[in-house]
Every structure is written in C-alpha cells, then in structure tokens.
Amino acid sequence: MHHFTPRELLYLEDMSSMFESITKNCDFAASSAVDPQFKSYLQSLGNEHKSWISSTASIVTNKSKLQ
C-alpha cells in the first residue's frame, strides 16, 4: 500500500487550493457571461475542477483512514 509523503500531501493541498480558486473564477465568469455557449463551457470547466478536488480529497481521506 502506498503512503503519501509529507511532500506529496503538500503538493495535493497546493493543487487543491489552486483548483478551488479556478473553480470560483469559472463560476463568477459563468454568472457574468452573456453567450450561452461560453457560459456552458465555463460551468463545465468549473465542474471538472470540483470533481478533481472531490476525487483527490476522497483518496487522501481514504488513505489516512487506512493508516
């Protein structure tokens, strides 16, 4: 079983923070967008980042429960 090193956990934390920021920016831009196609694109982009954050959090949470 793989255990995350402190460096890997810090990397995941940094990436999660960055993706949260991107998600917030996409949500804000989508709420301001006039073009429906562009609005839809921004919403899907934000949702992809939310999905990545959730997936990563569940991996880290599951790994820490097993330790």
Task: Please check whether residue 38 lies inside any domain of the structure.
Answer: yes
pLDDT at 63: 58
Task: Please check whether residue 22 lies inside any domain of the structure.
Answer: no
DSSP 21-57: HHHHHHHHHHHH--SHHHHHHHHHHHHHHHHHHHHHH
- pTM comes to 0.74
Boundaries of domain holding 38? 34-59
Task: Please check whether residue 67 lies inside any domain of the structure.
Answer: no
**Contact call for residues 1 and 66 (beta carbons, < 8 A):** yes
Q: Tell me the per-residue pLDDT of 15-60, one tens digit each, with 9 for 90 and over.
A: 888 999 999 999 999 999 999 999 999 999 999 999 988 888 887 7
Task: Please check whether residue 64 lies inside any domain of the structure.
Answer: no
Cα separation, 37 vs 14, whole angstroms: 31
Task: Please check whether residue 52 lies inside any domain of the structure.
Answer: yes
Q: Tell me the per-residue pLDDT of 34-43, one tens digit each, with 9 for 90 and over.
A: 999 999 999 9
Task: Please check whether residue 43 lies inside any domain of the structure.
Answer: yes
pLDDT at 27: 93
Residue type, 16: S
How many domains is the chain partitioned into structurally? 1
